[in-house]
Amino acid sequence: MTKDQAAAALREIGTILELQGENPFKCRAYLAAARTLETTPADLEDLVRTERLSELPGIGEALREKITTLVKTGKLPYLEQLRSSIPAGLLALLDLPGLGPKKLRALREKLGVESLEALQKACHDGRLAALDGFGEKTASNLLEAIARRASYSKLHRLGDALPAAQALLAHLRQCPVVLQAEIGGSLRRGKEIVKDLDLIASSKKPKEVMQAFISGPNVEKVVAHGETKSSVILQGGIPCDLRVIPPEAWATALAHFTGSKEHNIALRQRAIDRGLHLSEWGLFKGASKTPMKLKEEKDLHAALGLSYIPPELREDSGEITAAEKNNLPDLLTRNEIRGCLHNHTVASDGQDTLLAMAEAAADLGLEWLGIADHSKSSFQAHGLDAKRLEAQITGMRHPERRQT
């Protein structure tokens, strides 16, 4: 278990205790311990193994035992007991801006609010606005936050979606009957935010591929299970579709399920202008029902008089005209990235020490690393004042004087 995971568990304990009206000092002890774990430069497993947890500030015997149990077993009976004592979904309400444990406890005790639906109803019928400490503005802000959550819950960040898709892709490629498999859709185009995942595979035995897909890693729910298309929900609520196509349609199907709608329309029009017909099933000459032999996407682009268009450019933003003139821009590659500018350390609201981040940057082959910790004006993010900033700089220049 990592430091962040252990800290999250302690923070959850403190939050639940606060929701239950426990002694404020007890609640703050868990929250403070969570922060201590997040900011310590020491390795947590090493601290447990060498029995040095108690050396950390604020870690007494009771907390030491709980952290040790977390690290050694990956779970904590006390936390599981606390979770079972509150309604499912109650903690999720704390993600709404302006709704902290104290206010949520008041809503639960006075209005019986224990779910998002109950909170929404209390905002609409005026009961929440009538409570001391809330008011019409609070009710309005919460309704707006609920609406935003409903909208954003359908979107997933690239950093979450890509590993999930890659795990499933690796699983599919291990299936003996899969000839080719690839990520498609907006994820393959490198969009920062995606609504769902698209996987494409070619095989002569699609049923076996589909069975492998629905039993893949992180699949929580099977939404649809067909012979050539299936849909599942992955952990984290990410929808994922798989389409299995015949091998002869691989190039055109991959292109079709990668490009944006507008890009695909423009590509099909270009085919029509040349007396061809393009669909996901192939590129056809005139009225022929036999598709042209295309092994890869670059063969499709060449057949249309284009240089190969990288997936990231398939947005109908001038890439087809540029490809016709062999004038596509060169995309940035990983080995061209020399540094990362905006980074936060544990000194403010980051998750690792400056030294650890510098070492990680060096391991990645970066030439420089920019630190942008919050200043003292951002007190909610533990911003640095002049004294703490000087200590941070001194600690890097003089390791022997580094503060832990």
Answer whether residue 253 is part of any domain: no
Per-residue pLDDT tens digits for 212-264: 999 999 899 999 999 999 999 998 889 999 999 999 999 999 999 999 999 99
Q: What's residue 404's pLDDT?
A: 41
Q: 403 falls in which pLDDT band (50, 70, 90)?
A: very low
Mean pLDDT score of the chain, rounded to an integer? 91
**Do 239 and 140 belong to one domain?**
no
Q: How distant, in Å, are the alpha carbons of 31, 83, 328, 333, 335 from that of 310?
A: 48, 48, 9, 12, 18
Kindly tell me if the per-residue pLDDT of 398 is higher than 80: no
Kindly tell me if the per-residue pLDDT of 354 is higher than 70: yes
Rounded Cα distance between 120 and 131, Å, is 15
Q: What's residue 4's pLDDT?
A: 82
What's the average model confidence in pLDDT over 59-71? 93
**Do 123 and 160 belong to one domain?**
no
Residue ranges of the alpha helices (H) in 191-260? 206-214, 250-256
Please state the domain count of the chain.
4
Answer whether residue 312 is part of any domain: yes
Q: CATH number, domain at 59?
A: 1.10.150.110
**Do 319 and 347 belong to one domain?**
no
What's the average model confidence in pLDDT over 187-206? 96
C-beta separation of 350 from 323 below 8 A: no
Question: Which 3 state secondary structure label does DSSP give 323?
Answer: helix
Domain boundary among 271, 290, 324: 324
Q: What's residue 248's pLDDT?
A: 95
**Do 218 and 127 belong to one domain?**
no
- The residue range of the domain holding 108 is 3-152
Number of residues assigned to the chain:
404
Q: 208 falls in which pLDDT band (50, 70, 90)?
A: very high
C-beta separation of 199 from 256 below 8 A: no
Per-residue pLDDT tens digits for 10-41: 999 999 999 998 999 999 999 999 988 887 87
**Do 265 and 168 belong to one domain?**
no
Quick one: what percent of the chain has pLDDT higher than 90? 73
Q: 171 falls in which pLDDT band (50, 70, 90)?
A: very high
Residue ranges of the alpha helices (H) in 157-276? 158-173, 185-188, 206-214, 250-256, 261-273
* 277 contact partners, CB below 8 Å, separation of at least 6: 271, 283, 284, 286
Kindly tell me if the per-residue pLDDT of 399 is higher than 60: no
Rounded Cα distance between 276 and 98, Å, is 58
Kindly tell me if the per-residue pLDDT of 317 is higher than 90: yes
pTM of the model: 0.68
**Do 139 and 30 belong to one domain?**
yes
Q: Which residue from 67, 35, 74 is spatially nearest to 49, judged by alpha carbons? A: 67
Question: Which 3 state secondary structure label does DSSP give 200?
Answer: strand
Q: Which two tokens stand for residue 281?
A: 């099933």
C-beta separation of 11 from 30 below 8 A: yes
**Do 166 and 193 belong to one domain?**
yes
**Do 343 and 227 belong to one domain?**
no
Q: Which residue from 101, 106, 115, 87 is spatially nearest to 31, judged by alpha carbons? A: 101
Q: How distant, in Å, are the alpha carbons of 12, 67, 84, 220 from that of 80?
A: 11, 14, 6, 21
**Do 130 and 99 belong to one domain?**
yes
Give backbone dihedrals phi and psi of 223, rounded to 5 degrees, phi first: -85, -40
Q: 390 falls in which pLDDT band (50, 70, 90)?
A: confident
Q: What's residue 316's pLDDT?
A: 96
Answer whether residue 254 is part of any domain: no
Answer whether residue 252 is part of any domain: no
CB atoms under 10 Å from CB of 296, counted, come to 14
